[in-house]
Amino acid sequence: MKKASTLVMLVALGAVVAGCTTGSRAGDGAVVGGLAGAAIGGLAGGSVGAAAIGAGIGAVSGAIIADATGRCYWKDDRGRRHYTSCR
């Protein structure tokens, strides 16, 4: 029961934090990844240390993935932006 209530609290906290606008894709990815990693690490390892390790790995992974999936743009000779996927 304690694990289930902890998971529900983490998911609710994640929903609240994900609703905030920070303006940084990497920052948002780090927050969401950290929360997910903490939840998974805590449930899988059953300890605070496992949750902390999961949070660290999730935050780094989330920031990297969010930054890599951003949209890039280039400007033409008239100064108009054209968006494309980043490579």
pLDDT classification of 27: cutoffs 50, 70, 90? confident
Q: Which of 65, 66, 16, 62 is nearest to 36 (CA)?
A: 62
Q: Are the beta carbons of 63 and 71 closer than 8 angstroms?
A: no
Strand segments, DSSP code E, in the chain are 71-75, 81-85
Higher pLDDT, residue 75 or 20: 75
The answer, as to whether pTM is greater than 0.85, is no
**Amino acid 9: pLDDT:** 65
**Domain layout of the chain by residue ranges:** 2-85
